[in-house]
């Protein structure tokens, strides 16, 4: 009998695609990358100067304030002294050069005097414009006289000569980049037939009229630190509350460059120009 040969069975594995394992790992990886990006962004912000952090915080509080191509960082140069932009950012408040010295303020006052002197009709108003330099900044005062007013009685509309002066001031101060405080003052004359509009409103409206005229000619809105109306609480001639010299508009150019660098953050945070009105006197 013939022996049986073993049967050889050959199994051939057919090529198969591996089973579907899902894409959950992609979601996890994307979350990890996002978290790392946020972490490094936070670390970068923490390492910035306080003015930069304030600007970034202001952007997230009010993004619309930065519309129109304005940058978030002060180093972008928006509304700042060009020197600050060239140096890549604002100086620390305590750093050398953060505050303008008396000599620098004197030079700025000299340029303002020259610009005003070139105006037509300036000679007639020279005695009514006072420019003083102190450690607190350059103070420019437009002081009314009995026979020459910068505003009509009870009005906040600048007369032609006053408008030219304010325009020249705006052009020169806009070149400096420093912050500005505009103040309005009246005498003690009262309105006889109304308590709805008083010296407080009048003094503030006159200060704002001066601000608007300066902004039309070069003063940048971001430079405006405050617009204050003081009515007759800061009389120039206390012995005579009705003296015409008590009626005036004051423009103070502050010396702090650090404040100028932070002005964009202050403006974007929504505070804008301040208005101060305290008291009850009327013109």
DSSP 17-30: PPPP--SHHHHHHH
Any domain includes 20: no
Whole-model pTM: value is 0.59
CATH code of the domain in which 247 resides: 3.30.1330.60
- Which tokens belong to 61? 């509080």
- Report residue 121's pLDDT band, with 50, 70 and 90 as the boundaries: confident
Q: CA–CA separation, 207 vs 95, rounded Å?
A: 33
Q: Are strands 248-253 and 180-185 parallel, antiparallel or unpaired?
A: antiparallel
Tell me which of 148-157, 229-238, 269-278 is least confident. 269-278
Residue written as tokens 């650090």? Answer: 258
The confidence score (pLDDT) of residue 280 equals 38
The SS3 call for residue 123 is: helix
Any domain includes 104: yes
Any domain includes 7: no
The confidence score (pLDDT) of residue 62 equals 60
Closest CA to 171 of 236, 122, 218, 101: 218
| Mean pLDDT along residues 206-212 | 96
* pLDDT tens-place string over residues 33-90: 999 999 988 888 888 877 677 777 766 766 654 544 445 454 444 444 444 343 334 4
The confidence score (pLDDT) of residue 134 equals 83
Q: Is the pLDDT of residue 112 over 70?
A: yes
Any domain includes 8: no
Contact between 264 and 55 (Cβ < 8 Å): yes
Question: To the nearest whole number, what is the mean pLDDT of the chain?
Answer: 77
Largest Cα–Cα separation, the chain: 149
Contact between 183 and 250 (Cβ < 8 Å): yes
The confidence score (pLDDT) of residue 50 equals 72
Q: CA–CA separation, 9 vs 22, rounded Å?
A: 37
Q: Are strands 137-143 and 129-134 parallel, antiparallel or unpaired?
A: antiparallel
Contact between 253 and 176 (Cβ < 8 Å): yes
Q: Is the pLDDT of residue 3 over 50?
A: yes
Distance from the first to the final alpha carbon of the chain: 141
Q: Which residue has the higher pLDDT, 190 or 209?
A: 209
| For the chain, percent of residues with pLDDT exceeding 70 | 68
Q: Is the pLDDT of residue 119 over 80?
A: yes
| Mean pLDDT along residues 253-269 | 58
Q: Which residue has the higher pLDDT, 25 or 13?
A: 25
Any domain includes 10: no
The confidence score (pLDDT) of residue 219 equals 93
| Mean pLDDT along residues 136-150 | 91
* pLDDT tens-place string over residues 185-197: 999 998 766 678 8
123: left (phi over 0), alpha (psi -120 to 50) or beta: alpha
The tally of domains found in the chain comes to 1
Contact between 253 and 180 (Cβ < 8 Å): yes
Q: CA–CA separation, 252 vs 271, rounded Å?
A: 19
Any domain includes 78: yes
Find which of 60-64, 79-83, 163-167, 175-179 is predicted with most confidence, using mean pLDDT: 163-167
Instruction: Report DSSP state, residue 62.
Output: -
Phi, psi of 108 (to 5 degrees): -65, -40
Polymer length in residues for the chain? 283
Q: Which residue has the higher pLDDT, 261 or 178?
A: 178
- Report residue 139's pLDDT band, with 50, 70 and 90 as the boundaries: very high
- Report residue 252's pLDDT band, with 50, 70 and 90 as the boundaries: very high
Q: Which domain holds residue 89?
A: 27-283
Any domain includes 6: no
Q: List % helix, strand, coil for the chain (3-state, nearest 5).
A: 45, 15, 40
The confidence score (pLDDT) of residue 14 equals 65
**Residue 282: count of CB within 10 angstroms of its CB:** 20
The confidence score (pLDDT) of residue 48 equals 80
The confidence score (pLDDT) of residue 63 equals 61
Q: At what angle do helices 50-61 and 257-268 cross, to 10 degrees?
A: 20
Any domain includes 5: no
């Amino acid at each position: 009998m013939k022996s049986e040969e073993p049967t050889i069975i050959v199994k051939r594995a057919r090529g198969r695609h591996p089973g579907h394992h899902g894409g959950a790992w992609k979601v996890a990886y994307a979350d990890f990358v996002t978290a790392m990006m946020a972490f490094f962004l936070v670390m970068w912000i923490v390492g910035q100067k306080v003015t930069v952090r304030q600007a970034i915080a202001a952007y997230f509080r009010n993004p619309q304030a930065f519309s129109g191509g304005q940058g978030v960082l002060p180093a972008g140069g928006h509304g700042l002294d060009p020197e600050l932009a060239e140096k890549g950012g604002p100086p620390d408040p305590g750093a050398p050069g953060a505050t303008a010295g008396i000599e620098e303020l004197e030079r700025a006052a000299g340029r303002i005097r020259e610009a005003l002197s070139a105006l037509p009709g300036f000679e007639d108003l020279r005695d009514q414009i006072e420019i003083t330099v102190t450690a607190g900044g350059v103070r420019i005062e437009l002081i009314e006289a009995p026979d020459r007013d910068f505003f009509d009685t009870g009005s906040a509309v600048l007369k032609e000569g006053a408008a030219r002066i304010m325009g020249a001031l705006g052009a020169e101060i806009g070149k400096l980049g420093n912050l500005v405080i505009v103040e309005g003052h009246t005498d003690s004359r009262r309105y006889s037939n109304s308590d709805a509009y008083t010296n407080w409103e009048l003094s503030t409206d006159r200060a704002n009229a001066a601000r608007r005229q300066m902004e039309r000619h070069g003063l940048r809105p971001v430079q405006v630190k405050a617009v204050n109306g003081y009515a007759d609480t800061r009389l120039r001639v206390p012995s005579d509350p009705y003296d015409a010299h008590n009626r005036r508009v004051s423009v103070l150019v502050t010396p702090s460059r650090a404040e100028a660098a932070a002005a964009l953050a202050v403006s974007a945070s929504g505070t804008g120009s301040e208005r101060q009105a305290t008291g009850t006197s009327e013109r």
